[in-house]
Amino acid sequence: MDSYKCDVCDWVYNPEEGYPEGGIAPGTPFEDLPDDFECPLCGVGKDMFSKIEK
C-alpha cells in the first residue's frame, strides 16, 4: 500500500498506521478513505495529496 503526502503541509498518510484519531483503521488504503477526508493538519481534501513514490 502506498503512502500519500499532503501537498500543502507535508503531513503523511501511512495506510499501515491508518488515522485512528479520525476513525480510519490501520490497513485502510488511501483510495478507500471517505471522499470528504481532510488533512488533519491543514484541512485540504484528498485531491491535494500526492502518492509517495517508493
Per-residue confidence (pLDDT) for residue 40, from 0 to 100 = 97
Binding site residue list for Fe cation? 6, 9, 39, 42
Per-residue confidence (pLDDT) for residue 16, from 0 to 100 = 97
Rounded Cα gap, residues 32 and 15, in angstroms: 10
Q: What are phi and psi of 7, to 5 degrees?
A: -70, -20
Rounded Cα gap, residues 26 and 47, in angstroms: 21
With contact defined as beta carbons under 8 Å apart, do 3 and 11 qualify? Answer: no
**pTM of the predicted protein model:** 0.93
* Residue 30 belongs to domain spanning: 4-51
CATH number at residue 42: 2.20.28.10
Domains of the chain: total = 1
Residues 2-54: tens digit of each pLDDT: 999 999 999 999 999 999 999 999 999 999 999 999 999 999 999 999 999 86
Per-residue confidence (pLDDT) for residue 39, from 0 to 100 = 98
Length of the chain as a residue count: 54
The full DSSP string for 23-37 is TBPTT--GGGS-TT-
Binding site residue list? 6, 9, 39, 42
Per-residue confidence (pLDDT) for residue 53, from 0 to 100 = 80
- The x, y and z cell numbers of residue 53, run together, are 513514490
